[in-house]
């Protein structure tokens, strides 16, 4: 399985539109500190790509990957927060490709309740599919929004949970079965806005003996501080353009 991190930021990206913090200013002056909104491209054969989450940077991310809509095998979404979903509207232009949308039953209902997304389905820009590429595990994130961890991979299993308020028993049961966990790295020190802080999640993750990569990094966070903290567990932090073969 090849995993490409097309974006590794939380909801505002780095730099964030309304921010002059030290991390955003540095990202403005040096491209290597930039992060687009969280998005993964995954493939078993380096040819057929599926996408996990598509936020506001999705058109640029597809350009970077050098593929076009027609090449996408399917798109899976964790939840409908804008940083994970509004890129779907990019399919509302041009040809009607019937992009295959792979979501949990709860998220399907939320999409059909949302006029902007429902339009894409009604016109045929996107259609729901059930496939066994992705398994959806319901997790706690935001009240009144459904949210899933997504498990994928044939030989090696990967669990992706970029937005997670709590590692409950159900999620833990899935975590012990996988080879790689890509997890919520929004905040290092303190859990906020329904994101479990890295310092708290590591207390659970360290006992699983798995490879862990943190993503969905908030602009407020000092990345070097995160690296210094997680190295004791041999965990990693994702960056845009990072590629993992497993
Ligand atoms: Zn998010
Ligand atoms: Zn900032
Ligand atoms: Zn979210």
User: DSSP readout, 116-163?
Assistant: HHHHHHHHTSEEE---SSEEEEE---STTS--EEEEE-SSS-EEEESS
Query: Per the structure block, which two tokens stand in for 5?
Result: 């991190």
How far away, in angstroms, is 207 Cα from ligand 3 center?
A: 26
Given this model, what pLDDT does residue 8 score? 98
Identify the nearest ligand to the CA of 13 by its number: 2
The length of the chain is: 246
Given this model, what pLDDT does residue 93 score? 81
The domain spans of the chain are 2-245
Please give the Cα distance from 40 to 82 (Å, whole number): 16
How far away, in angstroms, is 163 Cα from ligand 3 center?
A: 5
Given this model, what pLDDT does residue 225 score? 98
In this predicted model, what pLDDT tens digit does every residue of 145-184 receive, in sequence order?
A: 999 999 999 999 999 999 999 999 999 999 999 999 999 9
Please give the Cα distance from 123 to 105 (Å, whole number): 21
| pTM of the full structure | 0.97
Query: Which regions of the chain are under pLDDT 70?
Result: none
How far away, in angstroms, is 218 Cα from ligand 2 center?
A: 8
How far away, in angstroms, is 78 Cα from ligand 2 center?
A: 25
Given this model, what pLDDT does residue 71 score? 84
Given this model, what pLDDT does residue 97 score? 79
How far away, in angstroms, is 156 Cα from ligand 2 center?
A: 36
Q: Listing from the earlier edge strand, what are the strands of the sheet with 134-138?
A: 134-138, 148-152, 158-161, 180-184, 211-215, 236-237
Given this model, what pLDDT does residue 69 score? 81
**What CATH number labels 2-245?**
3.60.15.10
């Amino acid at each position: 399985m090849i995993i490409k991190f097309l974006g590794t930021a939380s909801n505002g990206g780095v730099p964030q539109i309304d921010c002059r913090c030290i991390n955003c200013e540095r990202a403005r002056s040096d491209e290597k500190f930039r992060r687009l909104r969280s998005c993964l491209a995954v493939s078993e054969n380096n040819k057929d790509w599926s996408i996990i989450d598509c936020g506001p940077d999705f058109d640029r991310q597809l350009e970077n990957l050098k593929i076009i809509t027609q090449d996408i095998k399917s798109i899976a979404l964790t939840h409908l927060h804008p940083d994970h979903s509004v890129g779907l509207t990019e399919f509302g232009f041009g040809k009607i490709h019937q992009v295959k949308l792979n979501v949990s039953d709860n998220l399907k209902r939320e999409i059909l309740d949302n006029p902007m997304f429902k339009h894409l389905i009604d016109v045929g820009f996107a259609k729901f599919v059930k496939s066994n590429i992705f398994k959806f595990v319901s997790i706690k994130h935001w009240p009144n929004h459904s949210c899933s961890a997504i498990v994928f991979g044939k030989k090696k299993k990967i669990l992706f949970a970029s937005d997670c308020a709590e590692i409950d028993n159900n999620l833990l049961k899935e975590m012990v079965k996988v080879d790689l966990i890509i997890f919520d790295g929004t905040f290092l020190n303190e859990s906020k806005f329904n994101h479990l802080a890295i310092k708290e999640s590591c207390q659970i993750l360290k006992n699983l003996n798995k490879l862990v990569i943190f993503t969905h990094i908030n602009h407020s966070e000092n990345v070097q501080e995160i690296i210094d903290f997680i190295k004791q567990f041999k965990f990693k932090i994702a960056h845009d353009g990072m590629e993992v073969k497993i």
